[in-house]
C-alpha cells in the first residue's frame, strides 16, 4: 500500500501544528504534587510536546475520526490505573478517590502538554509499591504456621479497593507465606528459602527504583492509545528501536541476548552468525561488568537497567566495543577478562521463515508434505532502501524455501504455517500471496476519506502451483489474515485451524522526529537546556539529542478481495479445528475499542478454482479423526479445567493440602503422558523422568497434514487438469 502522498499531506499539516506547539511550549503545566517518601518521577519537555502532537495526530488522522474529550479522558484514567494495579494490590480506596479529580481533565491536560496528573498517580503507586516491598521483606522472617487452613486471595480485581494499609498488609503477608510454601514444596530448607525470597524482593525493589520518566510515559501512552483503538500505539525511543528491529529481523551489535541477574547483566544466548558467535570468546553465563566504546574508558554497568546496558553494547556496524567480563562459573571477585568485538549486522534467523518435510500415510499411499513455518511478515526496509540486493524479507526467504522443497525434497504438497503469526509488513503479505497466484488483487484498503485502493500482485507466474494449505489459529492476525483470506477467496488452497484474530486495520509508522523541521528541534533543545527539569538531561542539549519516538497510527481498514473486512471477524477456516486458545479472551472481538466489521464491493478478481465440492468431506473426515484423538480429548479437558480455574480467586496456604493437590495433578499428568506415549508406540516414563522431544507432538499440525492428504486424494488432479491453476514460471 502506498501512503506516500497521504503522508506528505500529513507532514505539511503536522509541521504547522508542531511549529505552533514549539512556540507555545512555555505554557506552564500545573504544578505536579509531591509524593513524600519516594523519588518523584517527572515528565520532561519532549514528552510534554509529544503528548500534544499525538493528540493532534489522532484527532486529525485516526480512522475513527474522534475528538479527545471527557469521555475518552475517563477511559484513559481507568486503563492507566488498571495497568499499574490490575490486581488491586497497591492503591488504597483513598488514593482512587483522590485520582477522581483527573477523570474528566486528562483530555484538556494532554492538549496543553500537561502530564502532571498521570505522573503524580505513578509516584503514589511507586510509594505504595515501596511500602509493599518493605513490609514483605519484614514478613519473610516471620515464623509462619504452614498447617493452618487459611487461604491467599491472589485475584482481587473484582474486589473493592482496600480501605487501609492495614487491610492490604494482610494480603501482602499471605502472598509472602504463599511464596514460602512454594519454595518449601520444592524441597529446599526453610532457612535457604528465606534467603532466596529476601534476595528476590530486594532485587525487585532495586529494579523498580530504576524506573524513569520514559517508562512512566510509555505506560501512560499505552493507556491513551488503547483507549482510541487496540492498534494505535506510541513507542518511546527505546521501544521504537525494538519494534523496527523486530520488523526487519535484524539489528547491529555483537549478537548476544542478555538478561539481568542480581544486578549484573548475564549473557543468556549467543546468536548464530553474529560477531560474538564468530569470535568464540563469549559464552552463555558470562557476566558483563563494564563497557567501553572503542578505545575509550570503561564504564561500570553493574546495577544498571538492562536496557541501558544493551544500548551501550549495541552500536553501528563496523564500530568496536570492549567488554569487561567475569567468565561463567567464576566468582564475581575474579579478575575480569577484556574482550574486544567489532559490531556487525546480526540476522535473527530463528525468527525467520523455516521449512521441514513431513511424510503422512493416507489409505495406503504416502505423501511428502513441505511445511513452511512463518512467524511474521518481515522486511528490512532500511537495507532495501539503501540498495542492498540481498535485503531480508519474508517473500525472498519463502521463495528460496519453496525452490528447495520442489527441487531437492520433491514434495507433493506445501502447507504454510501461520499459527501465532501476528502480521507485519503489508507489502510482504501481498508479494507472498503472489508466489501462489498468477497475478491480481490481494487486498483492498479503505482510508479515513473512504477512498478504496486495491493492492495487487503484479508479477506474472507462481513459485508453487501444486496442492497448498494454510494453517491459522486465534493468534494469526493482520497480514496473516490478508494472506489466508486471499488464498481462500481465490480457491487456491485449504485454510485449516481456528478463527483468526480479526485485526483488519492499517497502521502507518510515523517517526515523529521526521515530521519536524530540524530548526524546530534545535529550538526545542534550547528550551530544554534553559528549562532543565531532569537530572538525567545533559547540560547542553542539541537537536541530535532530541528523540520524540514513533507512533503507529490506525489510518485505514483491510478488506478481502471478495469485499469482506477481516476486522473483528477475521478469517474462518474451511476446516475448523479446536483452538488452543480461549476464543472469548483473545481476539479483536474482545477489545472494547475495536472498529466494527463491514463489507465493501468485491474487487475484480478471478478465482483459480472452486473448492466448495471437496470441503464437506474434508470436514467430515477431520471431525471423525478428532473424535478418536486422545490429544483433542485432553485439549477439551484442559479447557474445562481452565474455565474452572478462571473462576477461582484464592489458593490454600496449608502446605500439606497444597502438596497433595500438586501430587495428584502430577500423577494425573504422568498418566496422561504415558497414555499418549502408548498410543504412539513409545515406552512409558517414570515419575521424575523428563518427557522427551517425542512428547511435544504437534497434533494440530498432524491433523492439518491429514486434511491436506484428504484434499489431495479427494480432489485428485482435477484442479490442474482443468487448467484453472497457473503453471510454474
Please write the tens of the pLDDT for every residue from 607-658.
999 999 999 999 999 999 999 999 999 999 988 888 888 888 899 999 999 9
Output the nine-digit C-alpha cell for 456.
495487487
pLDDT at 687 over 50: yes
pLDDT value for 187: 84
Q: With cut-offs at 50, 70 and 90, classify the pLDDT of residue 285.
A: confident
Of the candidates 503, 574, 603, 715, the residue annotated as catalytic is: 503
Of 715 and 411, more confident: 411
The helix (run of H) or strand (run of E) holding residue 222 is helix 213-228
pLDDT at 406 over 90: yes
pLDDT at 14 over 80: no
Mean pLDDT for the chain overall: 87
Segment 569-593, tens digit of pLDDT: 999 999 999 999 889 889 999 999 9
Could you give the count of Cα atoms lying within 13 Å of 459 in the half-sphere of its Cβ?
A: 14
Segment 300-348, tens digit of pLDDT: 888 788 888 888 898 888 999 999 998 887 777 678 889 999 998 887 7
**Mean per-residue pLDDT, 688-692:** 80
Q: What distance in Å separates the CA atoms of residue 725 and residue 492, rounded to the nearest whole number? A: 8
Of 101 and 44, more confident: 101
Of the candidates 250, 393, 478, 565, the residue annotated as catalytic is: 478
Asked if 262 contacts 203 with a C-beta cutoff of 8 angstroms, the reply is: yes
SS3 380: coil
Write out 174-193 in H/E/C secondary structure. HHHHHHHHHHHHCCCCHHHH
Q: What distance in Å separates the CA atoms of residue 462 and residue 118, rounded to the nearest whole number? A: 54
Helices (H), 495-602: 518-530
Output the nine-digit C-alpha cell for 337.
577478562
Of the candidates 95, 114, 412, 489, the residue annotated as catalytic is: 489
**Mean per-residue pLDDT, 532-544:** 57
* 575-576 vs 494-497, strand pairing mode: parallel
Helices vs. strands in the chain: H and E counts, helices first: 22, 21
pLDDT value for 718: 41
* DSSP of 434-458: TTTSSSEEEEEEEETT--EEEEEE-
* Opening angle at CA 252, ends 251 and 257, nearest 5: 70
* Opening angle at CA 539, ends 537 and 540, nearest 5: 105
Q: Is 478 annotated as catalytic?
A: yes
Q: What distance in Å separates the CA atoms of residue 369 and residue 411, rounded to the nearest whole number? A: 5
Among 244-253, 334-343, 396-405, which is the least confidently predicted range? Answer: 244-253
The helix (run of H) or strand (run of E) holding residue 11 is helix 4-23
* 505-511 vs 344-347, strand pairing mode: unpaired
pLDDT at 721 over 90: no
Taking the model in full, what pTM does it have? 0.84
pLDDT at 136 over 70: yes
Contacts 24+ apart (CB under 8 A), 657-660: 657/149, 658/181, 658/185, 659/185
**Mean per-residue pLDDT, 16-24:** 46
Q: To which residue does cell 528490512 refer? A: 380
Residues 6 or more apart whose CB falls under 8 angstroms from that of 311 comprise 238
Segment 48-79, tens digit of pLDDT: 989 998 999 999 999 998 999 999 999 999 99
Q: Is 85 annotated as catalytic?
A: no
Segment 478-507, tens digit of pLDDT: 999 999 999 999 999 999 999 999 999 998
Q: With cut-offs at 50, 70 and 90, classify the pLDDT of residue 189.
A: confident
Q: Is 397 annotated as catalytic?
A: no
Amino acid at each position: 500500500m502506498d501512503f506516500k502522498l497521504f503522508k506528505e499531506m500529513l507532514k505539511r499539516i503536522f509541521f504547522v501544528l508542531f511549529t505552533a506547539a514549539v512556540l507555545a511550549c512555555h505554557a506552564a503545566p500545573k504544578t505536579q504534587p509531591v509524593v513524600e517518601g519516594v523519588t518523584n518521577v517527572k515528565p520532561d519537555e519532549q514528552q510534554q510536546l509529544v503528548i500534544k502532537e499525538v493528540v493532534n495526530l489522532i484527532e486529525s488522522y485516526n480512522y475513527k475520526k474522534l475528538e479527545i474529550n471527557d469521555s475518552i479522558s475517563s477511559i484513559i484514567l481507568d486503563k492507566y490505573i488498571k495497568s499499574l494495579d490490575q490486581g488491586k494490590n497497591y492503591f488504597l480506596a483513598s488514593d482512587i478517590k483522590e485520582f477522581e479529580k483527573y477523570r474528566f481533565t486528562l483530555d484538556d491536560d494532554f492538549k496543553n502538554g500537561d502530564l502532571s496528573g498521570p505522573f503524580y498517580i505513578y509516584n503514589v503507586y511507586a510509594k505504595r509499591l515501596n511500602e509493599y516491598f518493605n513490609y514483605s521483606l519484614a514478613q519473610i522472617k516471620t515464623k509462619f504456621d504452614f498447617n493452618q487452613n487459611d487461604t491467599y486471595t491472589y485475584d482481587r480485581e473484582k474486589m473493592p479497593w482496600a480501605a487501609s494499609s492495614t487491610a492490604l498488609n494482610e494480603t501482602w503477608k499471605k502472598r509472602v507465606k504463599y511464596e514460602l510454601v512454594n519454595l518449601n514444596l520444592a524441597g529446599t530448607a526453610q532457612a535457604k528459602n528465606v534467603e532466596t525470597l529476601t534476595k528476590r524482593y530486594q532485587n525487585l525493589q532495586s529494579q523498580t527504583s530504576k524506573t524513569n520518566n520514559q517508562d512512566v510515559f510509555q505506560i501512560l501512552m499505552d493507556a491513551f492509545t488503547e483507549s482510541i483503538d487496540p492498534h494505535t500505539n506510541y513507542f518511546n525511543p527505546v521501544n521504537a528501536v525494538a519494534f523496527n528491529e523486530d520488523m526487519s529481523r535484524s539489528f547491529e551489535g555483537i549478537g548476544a541476548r542478555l538478561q539481568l541477574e542480581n544486578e549484573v547483566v548475564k549473557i543468556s544466548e549467543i546468536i548464530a552468525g553474529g560477531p560474538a558467535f564468530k569470535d568464540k570468546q563469549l559464552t552463555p553465563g558470562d557476566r558483563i561488568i563494564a563497557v567501553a566504546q572503542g578505545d575509550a574508558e570503561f564504564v561500570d554497568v553493574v546495577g544498571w537497567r538492562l536496557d541501558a546496558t544493551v544500548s551501550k553494547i549495541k552500536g553501528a556496524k563496523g564500530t568496536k566495543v570492549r567488554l569487561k567480563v567475569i567468565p561463567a562459573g567464576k566468582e564475581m571477585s575474579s579478575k575480569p577478562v577484556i574482550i574486544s568485538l567489532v559490531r556487525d549486522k546480526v540476522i535473527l534467523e530463528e525468527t525467520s521463515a523455516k521449512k521441514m518435510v513431513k511424510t503422512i500415510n493416507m489409505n495406503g499411499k504416502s505423501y511428502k508434505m513441505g511445511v513452511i513455518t512463518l512467524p511474521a511478515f518481515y522486511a528490512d526496509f532500511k537495507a532495501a532502501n539503501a540498495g542492498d540486493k540481498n535485503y531480508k524479507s519474508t517473500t525472498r526467504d519463502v521463495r528460496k524455501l519453496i525452490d528447495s522443497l520442489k527441487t531437492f525434497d520433491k514434495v507433493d504438497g506445501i502447507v504454510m504455517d501461520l499459527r501465532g503469526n501476528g502480521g507485519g509488513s503489508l507489502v510482504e503479505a501481498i508479494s507472498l500471496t503472489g508466489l501462489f497466484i498468477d497475478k491480481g488483487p490481494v487486498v483492498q484498503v479503505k482510508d479515513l476519506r473512504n477512498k478504496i485502493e486495491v493492492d495487487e500482485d503484479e508479477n506474472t507466474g507462481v513459485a508453487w502451483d501444486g496442492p497448498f494449505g494454510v494453517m491459522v489459529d486465534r493468534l494469526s492476525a493482520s497480514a496473516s489474515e490478508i494472506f489466508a483470506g486471499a488464498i481462500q477467496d481465490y480457491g487456491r488452497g485449504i485454510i485449516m485451524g481456528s478463527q483468526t484474530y480479526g485485526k483488519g486495520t492499517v497502521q502507518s509508522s510515523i517517526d515523529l522526529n521526521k515530521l519536524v523541521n530540524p530548526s524546530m528541534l534545535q529550538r526545542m533543545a534550547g528550551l530544554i537546556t534553559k528549562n532543565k527539569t531532569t537530572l538525567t538531561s545533559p547540560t547542553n542539549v542539541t537537536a541530535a539529542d532530541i528523540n520524540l519516538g514513533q507512533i503507529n497510527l490506525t489510518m485505514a481498514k483491510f478488506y478481502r478481495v471478495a469485499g469482506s473486512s477481516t476486522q473483528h471477524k477475521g478469517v474462518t477456516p474451511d476446516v475448523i479445528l479446536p483452538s488452543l486458545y480461549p476464543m472469548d479472551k483473545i481476539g479483536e472481538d474482545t477489545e472494547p475499542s475495536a472498529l466494527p466489521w463491514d463489507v465493501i464491493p468485491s474487487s475484480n478478481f478471478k478465482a483459480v478454482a472452486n473448492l466448495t465440492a471437496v470441503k464437506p468431506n474434508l470436514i467430515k473426515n477431520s471431525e471423525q479423526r478428532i473424535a478418536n484423538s486422545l490429544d483433542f480429548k485432553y485439549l477439551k479437558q484442559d479447557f474445562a479445567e481452565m474455565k474452572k480455574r478462571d473462576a477461582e480467586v484464592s489458593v490454600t496456604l496449608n502446605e500439606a493440602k497444597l502438596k497433595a493437590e500438586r501430587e495428584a495433578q502430577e500423577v494425573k499428568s504422568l498418566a496422561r503422558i504415558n497414555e499418549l506415549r502408548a498410543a504412539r508406540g513409545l515406552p512409558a516414563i517414570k515419575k521424575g523422568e523428563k518427557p522427551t522431544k517425542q512428547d511435544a507432538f504437534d497434533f494440530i499440525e498432524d491433523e492439518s497434514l491429514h486434511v491436506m492428504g484428504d484434499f489431495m486424494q479427494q480432489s485428485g488432479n482435477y484442479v490442474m487438469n482443468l487448467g484453472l491453476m497457473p503453471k510454474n514460471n
